[in-house]
Amino acid sequence: MSAVSSPLSTAQREALRCAAQWYARLSSGLEDAGEQQRWQRWHDADPLHQQAWQQVEAVRRMVEGVPRQIAAPALRQARESRRRVLRQLLVLAGVGVVGIGGWRSELRTTLMASVHTGVGEQREVVLEDGSQILLDSRSALDVRFDAEQRVLRLLSGRVLVQTAADALARPFLVEVSQGQVQALGTRFTVDADERFCEVTVLEKAVQVRPLNSAQTLRLEAGQQVRFDRSRLGEPWRSDASVASWQTGSLIAINRPLGDLLEELSRYRRGWLRCDPSIAGLRISGAFPLHDIDLALAALASGFELRIVRRTDYWVSVMPRVS
């Protein structure tokens, strides 16, 4: 499949322009129930509208790969005026149209990885040396074993690794864009995105090294650390919730609602957000990862929240109206 997208028709461009306008309105925090209903009528009126809306959502998912001077003002500064948000979102939508070839290329890279998972999928694999990995939702990695070393290249997402003894005494490495994690006979998780990598040791130890630094850190069982390409953060003690995802549930211990929803969004398609006024609400509980709707229902009933569904792919958690 070619990485070059086909030219858009006039009707498609107009639908995309309208979709971007609706996105700006609904993201401004100023919308009311009537406006949501008008958006729904627009969305349902024409298959081109639905396709354009999906395109805007795809652009949102790509936003972390867009330069921050474009992406951040458009999507993260909720206090900006509608007019400014609209102007910047239209720029962002344009980036999405011309950049869709790059997005498709990234998708092909993921699908061509040695192991990958879809939304909500987890996959267990036993490697040729007997080591075991559990790949979390929306993740991809390459496996490269040779006579000198055993390497996992984590392309996206999160993996749990349990290493096995090797007859050739080859080092076991997990490579990410931010650097490298070397197993020291251990069980650990690696969670990486475009900016940071977070490592948690469950048994024994690992050694962590950023890509552009000579600094290294030995991380022991019960510790976590976050690092980027240049710097290692300070390690901290992990808690019982850190690897709960491997059992199919997410355990939250006094966790901000915004962070919890970001974690749950790994396991569903579309956009899951909360009202900024309740993003800091502290949540404790256990939430199923195989059924995010059930997890949201538990949140709503247990913490006096309200779930607002604009579509199946756009869900907001709001304060309950008294």
Confidence band (pLDDT; 50, 70, 90) for 95?
Answer: very low
pTM equals 0.67
- Got the DSSP string for 88-154? HHHHHHHHHHHHHHHHHHHHHHHHTSSEE--TT--EEEE-TTS-EEEE-TT-EEEEEE-SS-EEEEE
> Which residues, 6 or more positions from 117, have their beta carbon under 8 angstroms from its beta carbon?
123, 135, 136, 137, 138, 139, 140, 157
Tokens, residue 78 = 């909720």
88-97, 122-131, 215-224, 276-285: least confidently modelled range: 88-97
Whether the per-residue pLDDT at 2 is higher than 80: the answer is no
Confidence band (pLDDT; 50, 70, 90) for 32?
Answer: low
Q: Tell me what pLDDT residue 74 has.
A: 37
Per the model's pLDDT, the better-predicted residue between 271 and 230 turns out to be 230
10 Å Cβ neighbour count for 68? 10
Confidence band (pLDDT; 50, 70, 90) for 316?
Answer: very high
Whether the per-residue pLDDT at 223 is higher than 70: the answer is yes
Backbone angles phi, psi at 189, to 5 degrees: -120, 150
User: Quick one: average pLDDT of 142-169?
Assistant: 94
Whether the CB-CB separation of 231 and 196 falls below 8 Å is answered with no
Whether the CB-CB separation of 174 and 181 falls below 8 Å is answered with yes
Q: Tell me what pLDDT residue 37 has.
A: 79
User: Quick one: average pLDDT of 146-166?
Assistant: 95
Backbone angles phi, psi at 242, to 5 degrees: -60, -40
CA distance 167 to 273: 48
Whether the per-residue pLDDT at 187 is higher than 50: the answer is yes
Whether the CB-CB separation of 12 and 46 falls below 8 Å is answered with no
| Residue 56: closest CA among 319, 264, 310, 317 | 310
Per the model's pLDDT, the better-predicted residue between 269 and 166 turns out to be 166
Whether the per-residue pLDDT at 246 is higher than 50: the answer is yes
Whether the per-residue pLDDT at 318 is higher than 70: the answer is yes
21-25, 80-84, 266-270: least confidently modelled range: 80-84
315 strand-pairing partners = 272, 309
Whether the per-residue pLDDT at 216 is higher than 90: the answer is yes
Q: Tell me what pLDDT residue 28 has.
A: 54
Whether the per-residue pLDDT at 79 is higher than 80: the answer is no
- pLDDT digit string, tens, across residues 51-65: 777 766 655 544 434
- pLDDT digit string, tens, across residues 171-185: 999 999 999 999 998
CA distance 227 to 30: 37
Per the model's pLDDT, the better-predicted residue between 93 and 155 turns out to be 155
Q: What is the mean pLDDT of the chain?
A: 80
User: Quick one: average pLDDT of 127-139?
Assistant: 94
Residue ranges of domains in the chain, CATH in brackets: 10-111 (no CATH), 115-237 (2.60.120.1440), 248-319 (3.55.50.30)
Whether the per-residue pLDDT at 4 is higher than 60: the answer is no
Residue with token string 């999928």: 121
- pLDDT digit string, tens, across residues 34-52: 777 788 888 888 888 887 7
User: Quick one: average pLDDT of 17-22?
Assistant: 75
Whether the per-residue pLDDT at 271 is higher than 60: the answer is yes
Whether the per-residue pLDDT at 10 is higher than 90: the answer is no
**Cα dihedral angle (181, 265, 51, 49), rounded to 10 degrees?**
-140
Confidence band (pLDDT; 50, 70, 90) for 264?
Answer: very high
CA distances from 53 to 43, 94, 313 (A): 8, 14, 10
